[in-house]
């Protein structure tokens, strides 16, 4: 009797060792060495068994039963989170389970170029399937996470100018508000205490600095000209002259018109710097650091005018007669 019991005990331990070996093998062995990510979506309400079947169908695990058993052993059955995930066939079952349990959803990357407007950012986000453009713009009209973003009457978007140009990664499922919060927080981080102190020295608010920087961003094509263009705007403001920035007309139109007409400069809008003196009610783009620095540290000049030639470089003038001559010269070249 004891011999028979002993034989059963031996068989039990052999089976147990085999089972442990299979589980260990399953934990360590990936489907393949391929590193190309596969995007899967774990829907809310999916069970561990549902997820295992999905992973098996997508060629990411060898056995859905083993997946479910391992999840139970690790105490994670029922704790796998919904969302979009990027999983590679080279990942082990344990790595996949850990990723799903931690909710390491797929991130989507996008870059906001310097000088993009809110409308362009919204279109970019929709193009990357990150956010609905109309929803983003609707929220951007009155989103004010920081006091210095408080806008006056006539402003199109309170966040215009404060969506800092940079490369960002967002988790799948991020809302328009999540994205706006991230972009404006990056601006607040980049506009350093030293920059704020310098703005105060110039007797400018942060908002006024960004309004001017947005004009510089849209007018300048050459880095070396940014501080000079900034100086022209400062000089005109000091003399009470309208800024007469073509970039503000382009902003009103909503598209880059190659050549503006006299009629364009007569459009009724608070952003029309041909018709209104002083600064427009808000920034006309989201400027980069170079344009912001150009406003904080403008060149010392007595220029009041500039005109761009075909190369994108500008000719600067002190008087209107000089400006007319520059326009004529540019037209000949």
Q: Which pLDDT belongs to residue 14?
A: 56
Alpha-carbon span 44 to 98, nearest angstrom: 18
Q: Answer yes or no: are the C-beta atoms of 164 and 187 closer than 8 Å.
A: yes
Q: At which of 124, 159, 189 does a domain end?
A: 189
pLDDT score for 26: 52
- Co-location of 251 and 263 in the same domain: yes
Question: Where among 129, 162, 189 does a domain terminate?
Answer: 189
- Its domain, for residue 25, covers 2-104
Q: Please state, in angstroms and rounded to a whole number, the distance separating the CA atoms of residues 59 and 23.
A: 19
> Which residue do the tokens 């070396």 mark?
224
Query: Is there a single domain that holds both residue 97 and residue 58?
Result: yes
3-state secondary structure of 167: strand
Residue 256 and residue 174 share a domain:
no
Is 35 in contact with 90 (CB distance < 8 Å)?
Answer: yes
Q: Look at residue 212 in the predicted model and tell me its pLDDT.
A: 99
The rounded average pLDDT for each run of 10 residues, N- to C-terminus, in the chain (333 residues) is: 53 52 56 81 92 93 90 90 88 92 86 98 94 97 95 91 96 89 98 98 98 98 96 97 95 89 93 95 98 98 93 91 89 67
Tell me the chain's radius of gyration from C-alpha atoms: 30
Which helix (H) or strand (E) covers residue 22, if one does? helix 2-28
Residue 253 is predicted with a pLDDT of: 94
Predicted local distance difference test score (pLDDT) of residue 178: 95
Instruction: Say how many domains are in the chain.
Output: 3
Among residues 104, 119, 140, which one ends one of the domains? 104
- φ, ψ of residue 122 to 5 degrees: the values are -60, -45
DSSP 304: -
Neighbouring CB atoms inside 10 A of 308's CB total 16
pLDDT at position 4 is: 55
Q: Is the dihedral of CA 284, 289, 291, 294 positive or negative?
A: positive
85 in the Ramachandran plot: left (φ > 0), alpha (ψ -120 to 50) or beta? beta
**What's the CATH number where 30 sits?**
3.30.1490.480
Which class for 71: exposed (0-12), middle (13-18), buried (19 or more C-beta within 10 A)?
buried
Do residue 287 and residue 202 come from a single domain? yes
pLDDT at position 194: 98
User: Which residues, including other chains, have CB under 8 Å from residue 228's CB and lie 6 or more apart?
Assistant: 298, 299, 301, 303, 306, 314, 316
């Amino acid at each position: 009797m004891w011999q028979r019991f002993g034989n059963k005990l031996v068989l039990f331990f052999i089976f147990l060792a085999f089972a442990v070996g299979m589980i260990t093998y399953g934990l360590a062995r990936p489907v393949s060495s391929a590193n190309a990510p596969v995007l899967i979506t774990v829907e809310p309400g999916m069970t561990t068994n549902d997820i295992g079947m999905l992973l098996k169908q997508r060629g990411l695990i060898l056995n859905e039963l083993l997946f479910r058993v391992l999840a139970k052993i690790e105490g994670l059955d029922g704790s796998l989170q919904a969302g979009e995930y990027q999983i590679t066939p080279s990942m082990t079952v344990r790595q996949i389970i850990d990723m799903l349990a931690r909710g390491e959803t797929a991130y989507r990357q996008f870059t906001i170029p310097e000088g993009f407007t809110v409308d362009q950012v919204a279109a970019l986000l929709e193009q990357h399937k990150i956010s609905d453009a109309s929803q983003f713009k609707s929220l951007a009209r009155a989103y004010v996470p920081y006091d210095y973003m408080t806008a006056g009457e006539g402003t199109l978007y309170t966040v215009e100018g404060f969506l800092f140009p940079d490369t960002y990664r967002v988790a799948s499922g991020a809302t328009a508000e999540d994205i706006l919060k991230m972009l404006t927080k990056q601006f607040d981080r980049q506009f350093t205490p030293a920059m704020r102190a310098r703005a105060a020295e110039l007797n400018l608010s942060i908002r006024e600095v960004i309004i001017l920087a947005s004009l510089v961003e849209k007018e300048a094509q050459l880095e070396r000209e940014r501080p000079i263009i900034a100086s022209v705007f400062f000089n005109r403001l000091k003399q009470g002259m309208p800024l007469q920035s073509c970039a503000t007309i382009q902003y009103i139109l909503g598209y880059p018109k190659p050549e503006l007409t006299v009629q364009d400069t007569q459009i009724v809008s608070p952003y029309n710097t041909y018709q209104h003196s002083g600064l427009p009610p808000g920034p006309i783009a989201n400027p980069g650091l170079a344009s912001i620095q150009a406003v904080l540290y403008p060149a010392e000049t007595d220029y009041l005018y500039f005109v761009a030639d075909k190369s994108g470089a500008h000719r600067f003038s002190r008087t209107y007669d000089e400006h007319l001559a520059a326009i004529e010269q540019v037209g000949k070249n």
